[in-house]
Homo-oligomer: A and B are copies of this chain.
């Protein structure tokens, strides 16, 4: 790991108060924020650099020049309000807030860590005005705020940054029409038009087309400019200030990865063979050093031009091993450390989907711009004519699947669980009500990984789909079971099936042979004192860890894998039964077991899912193996 250091707030202050052109100073500050965001993401091990970099000139221009929050303060009800709807660009936003003294260095160093900075914007962080990361909600929120300001006679404009791919979400167009109807001239949006989605161009995924014409047709005043040119940004925003009562949109043409030559679109896309590498994730050490050196050199030049000398750096404490809890000694803590294998259940899913595609000509795969994460790129390459890319538009995807199912196709519908089960819920109900069959792949289900935060952690999806007639919800515990359950869903299930899938590496290889029987679980470990029922690789590992720890205490805990989450035929109604949910305690497997007559005690994700490393988040909820061992021992002692 390279040594990490932020450029200090004092150095940023020096730039702000230096003589010289305001716009050149803003550009320099944006580069400083790029470097600090790069360092924060490297320390965190993940985060979105590409869109942080494309957005940063705009963010800095707004927070450091155009808007009044730096002076008025975030508590002023008359303040200007700025937030990012896409939220992926939050490392850059945090870096800008650090430069303003709103976020301290110690917290910037704890990006995606417990009690640090959430992986997507959260109002618990100073200076963050709205929770985002679930795409497409920001303009609506801004509309509400602008309407409220006008209603209450308060000052301040409301500025919402959106992505360009994000505009595929239909909610944006609801908000755009509503804001125009209500003549909310104090609402501005800035489209960070960096032309790329997660790894392909917007025009390739679902074309935005003539965005200016669209926004104008929706009743907005529209300007377009280079989003890295502070002179032009100043002009546009100045015009907005004196504009009429139509809401205002700036299409800011930007470059994804801006500021680091090898991350910049379009060169980076060409280099990646058509896929953009720098959307998410931390760069490896070598790429990090190259990027840092490039930024540092340009920043040093900028400081020199302003006659400021060298920028000052403050080193970060070395990152705590993210697999270990802070303050915990390395020795003796093994039980709390999730081991990690190279097995990803989602890879088994992607591979089996290709096999099933060969067997079933009516099988079609639908994607909402998460093809790489959901491992359906393999299917896309194998059967491009049966792959329907829907863009970031989950509702449209599900209803399109419904149409396909009515006409004899078997749609396999992919997105993250938190988006698919929730945003497209009514569409799934409608599809199900037609009596057709679809397979819903709920990726990234459960608490872990916990770095991206609440918007991405799905702890309600079982409850969201559980009351649907003719819907079976399953979650496989390892690769073999993933293949078997997907095959069961495609070949044997009569009605809809939702398959929850963990997105991260499996923490251990669980011995499940891939034979599945609807409603029936399998015993992973025997034990006479109590039974712990769970599902999915993350929680099965914690359950087994708990059993191993309890064994040392003389307690024999049986562990049962129950991949059928809403239709259970328990064979263990006798004795003490505990359920470990990778879900809220409400509406999960535990409730299903109780309906089946098992008096189960539930350990689930209580409250809001914690952001942090896996170890931190599991511990925060008392769901790591060690905590579970303690909780079960206490319960058995009562």
A residues engaging B (CB < 8 A)? 77, 122-124, 129-132, 134, 136-138, 140-145, 147-149, 151-152, 168-175, 177-178, 180-182, 206-210, 213-214, 216-219, 364, 385-386, 388, 390-391, 393, 395-404, 406-409, 411, 418-419, 422-423, 425-427, 429-430, 433-435, 454-455, 459-460, 463-464, 466-469, 566, 583-588, 591, 594-595, 602, 606-608
The answer to whether A214 and B218 touch (CB under 8 A), given A77-B408, A137-B430, A168-B177, is: yes
Known: A130-B406, A426-B418, A594-B594. A141 touches B400 (CB 8 A): yes
Contacts of A396 in B (CB 8 A): 140, 143, 171, 174-175, 178
**The one of B145, B218, B400 that contacts A143, using a Cβ cutoff of 8 Å:** B400
| A-B contact list, 18 entries, CB within 8 Å | A130-B406, A131-B430, A137-B430, A140-B395, A140-B398, A140-B403, A148-B407, A171-B399, A175-B400, A177-B209, A178-B396, A213-B213, A214-B218, A422-B426, A423-B425, A429-B460, A460-B468, A586-B591
Known: A213-B217, A467-B584. A143 touches B591 (CB 8 A): no
With both beta carbons as reference points, the residue of chain B lying nearest to A411 in the complex is identified as B144
**A339 nearest CB across to chain B (Å):** 30
User: Which residues of the other chain, B, contact A419 by a CB distance below 8 angstroms?
Assistant: 426
A98–chain B nearest beta-carbon distance, Å: 22
Known: A141-B402, A170-B172. A591 touches B595 (CB 8 A): yes
Q: Name which residue of chain B comes closest to A432, CB basis.
A: B608
A257 CB to closest chain B CB (Å) equals 25
Q: Tell me, rounded to whole Å, the shortest Cβ–Cβ distance linking A508 to chain B.
A: 28
Q: Are B148 and A177 in contact (CB under 8 A)?
A: no
Given contacts A170-B169, A404-B147, A466-B586, contact A178 B140 (CB under 8 A): no
Q: Which residue of the partner chain B has the closest CB to A471?
A: B586
Q: Which chain B residues lie closer than 8 Å to A583 at the CB level? A: 467
Min C-beta distance of A418 to chain B, whole Å: 7
- Scoring A77, A140, A180, A385 by chain B CB atoms within 10 A of each residue's CB, the highest score goes to A140
Is B178 within 8 A of A400, CB to CB? yes
Q: Look across to chain B and name the residue whose beta carbon is closest to the beta carbon of A402.
A: B141
| Residue contact A141 to B178, C-beta cutoff 8 Å | no
- CA–CA, A586 to B591, complex, Å? 8
- The answer to whether A151 touches B426, judged by C-beta atoms less than 8 angstroms apart, is no
Do the beta carbons of A142 and B403 come within 8 Å of each other?
yes
Which of A136, A148, A403, A460: most chain B CB closer than 10 A? A403
Which residues of chain B are within 8 angstroms of A143 by Cβ–Cβ distance? Answer: 396, 400, 403
A132, A180, A433 interface centre (most CB from chain B within 10 Å): A433
Contacts of A608 in B (CB 8 A): 433, 469
Residue of B nearest to A401 (CB): B144
Question: Most chain-B Cβ atoms within 10 A of its Cβ — which of A152, A174, A425, A427?
Answer: A174
